[in-house]
Structure 1
Amino acid sequence: MGPDALNHLPQGHLHKRTAQLTNPSVLENPRICKSFIVGKCPYDIFSGTKENFGRCPKIHQEKYKLLYEAARAKGIKMPRHDYELDYLRDLEIFINECNRKIEMAERRLRYTAEEKESLSNITREMDELDTRIALTTQEIQILSDKEDLDKAIDLSKSLKRYVHDRSELASTYSEMLENINQSAQQKLQVCTECGAYLSRLDNDKRLVDHFMGKIHLGYVEMRNIAREIRGRTE
């Protein structure tokens, strides 16, 4: 399109185009990402990490961010919405999901501790079965000596059941003990910012790598921004 082509544009076209680039009302488009124009979209914060949530379904264009910042600098209020509240809502969706992940992770660690407490109960049950097995074996031997085979056979069925139950308990005990030992060796705890598992046995470098990691810093940043916005709006 050459310079002369501008003369053939509909009357008011340039004015309309300019107004669109300076009038904050264009930001009311629900397809425009309010988090992007106000601050940082959570989708962008975790881009390229293990917690990559994909691409934001809304529009990210720098011209809208610049328009918003210019309007704010001039004290121009947004037409109908407080976009900071929209931003806070988006942040809280990700923060609440992270909080659920933290709660689940802590529950798993608590469950392992509960397993440890229940070992004594399983041990007591196995002791009781050991006693039953020993007494039943002796009784079967006595009945066999007396040639009371019918009662001996009936008791043999009970003995078989006791041995089976004892074996099942022993298997459960071994599995629980393995889980407890593994937890004790790792001494795990949950990061209250991002929900990752941390080992209290990790060296300083590994801990620094975690706390300086993009995921951890991303959640810390989101939580701080959310607190700031809540403080301004309360």
Structure 2
Amino acid sequence: MAAEQRKLLEQLMGADQLIGGPSSGRNAQVPITDPKVCRSYLAGTCPHDLFTNTKQDLGPCPKLHNEGLKTEYDAASSHEKAKWGFEYDYLRDMQKYIDECNRRIDSAQRRLEKTPDEIRQTNHLLAQISDLNKTINTGLEETSVLGELGAVSTAIDEFYKVRNAKHQKESLERDLKALADTSGPSGHQKLQVCDVCGAYLSRLDNDRRLADHFFGKMHLGYAKMRETYSVLQKEMKGQPPSRHDDGPSGRGESGFDDGGWGQGGGGGYGGRAFRGGGGGYRRRGGGGGYGRW
């Protein structure tokens, strides 16, 4: 029974990742530069480990996570690490997932925009309100002139027209406000997209619900990835990437050129304002609290 369970586990995870498997220790003689080794795991944190049991769960990493190799990497000199160039692979790996998250954020933002019909309704209401403003101003001037000329009866009729125009304007302004509050798929919930992880947030959420989001595993995972990417990118800026032969199964499958992260249109955080820190939330003034909108 135990053998059957182990065989099933090997099929799901790969024999190399099982404790006691053929590559679980240094005795397996797997070199640290082997293409099957996860370089993100060695140089930092593998993205596959950040989002387990969340909506963005990436599943098990297809590459080998070996504690012995990680210990060897941590103990290596700066010269050896520079020769291996694993941090460049780590940057490319993070860039791929950050770019995917940014695309989700842009897509979610577009879904919250007003529809063409809502835009037409808004413009129509604004035009009507503008016309009524002109009618009111002109009517007030005519009422004043008629009063000075002694045409009291005509002035009173004109005043009633001005008052009716004001009532119409107030009604249209209420309609405009209601349309603004309920337009878009966000509706009355006033949804907003988190600019760190891409999740939908409601501006009506209380502090407890916001805390659940900002300290949730998915948000913290993307916050950590963005912060690590930003720091590592600055530290390695201007350093030529080390050339190493990964073979066809290396980390180069993401399609990013060496040293190309964060430059041009392909890399980095796309210019978004990272909220910093581990939690990724803003504090308002000196009283703390979460980033309310």
Range of TM-score over shorter length = 0.5 to 0.7
Residue among 19, 44, 55 paired with 2:60: 55
Give me the whole-angstrom Cα distance separating, in 1, the residues matched to 2:92 and 2:119.
Answer: 42
- 1:167-200, Cα deviation, whole Å (9 max, x unpaired): xxxxxxxxx99x7276341111110000011110
Higher helix share: 1
Give me the whole-angstrom Cα distance separating, in 2, the residues matched to 1:42 and 1:228.
Answer: 16
> Is structure 2 residue 234 aligned with structure 1 residue 195?
no
Q: Secondary structure at the match of 1:59?
A: coil
Q: Secondary structure at the match of 2:229?
A: helix
Give me the whole-angstrom Cα distance separating, in 2, the residues matched to 1:115 and 1:225.
Answer: 43
Matches within 5 A, 1:101-120: 101-112=104-115, 114-119=116-121
- 1:15-69, Cα deviation, whole Å (9 max, x unpaired): xxxxx959xx921111100010111100011112121111111000101100100
Q: Secondary structure at the match of 2:201?
A: strand
Partners of 2:114 and 2:184 within 8 A in 1: no
> Structure 2 length as normaliser, TM-score?
0.49
> Structure 1 length as normaliser, TM-score?
0.61
Partners of 2:51 and 2:221 within 8 A in 1: yes
Q: Secondary structure at the match of 2:42?
A: helix
Q: Secondary structure at the match of 2:188?
A: helix
Partners of 1:28 and 1:79 within 8 A in 2: no
Q: Secondary structure at the match of 2:113?
A: helix
- 1:143-174, Cα deviation, whole Å (9 max, x unpaired): xxxxxxxxxxxxxxxxxxxxxxxxxxxxxxxx
CA 1:206/1:93 → structure 2, altered by over 3 Å: closer, same or farther? same
In the alignment, which residue of structure 2 is the partner of 1:26?
31
What fraction of aligned residue pairs are identical, expressed as a percent? 44
Gaps of 5+ in 1: 1-19, 124-175
Give me the whole-angstrom Cα distance separating, in 1, the residues matched to 2:225 and 2:219.
Answer: 10
Q: Rg bigger for which structure?
A: 1
Aligned residue pairs total: 159
Give me the whole-angstrom Cα distance separating, in 2, the residues matched to 1:79 and 1:28.
Answer: 13
CA 1:192/1:115 → structure 2, altered by over 3 Å: closer, same or farther? farther
CA positional deviation for 1:119: 2.8
In the alignment, which residue of structure 2 is the partner of 1:213?
216
Give me the whole-angstrom Cα distance separating, in 1, the residues matched to 2:221 and 2:97.
Answer: 11
Matches within 5 A, 1:57-206: 57-72=62-77, 75-78=78-81, 80-112=83-115, 114-119=116-121, 180=183, 183-206=186-209
CA 1:221/1:115 → structure 2, altered by over 3 Å: closer, same or farther? farther
Give me the whole-angstrom Cα distance separating, in 2, the residues matched to 1:71 and 1:190.
Answer: 42
Question: What is the Cα-based RMSD across aligned positions, in Å?
Answer: 3.0
CA 1:85/1:200 → structure 2, altered by over 3 Å: closer, same or farther? same
> Is structure 2 residue 45 aligned with structure 1 residue 43?
no
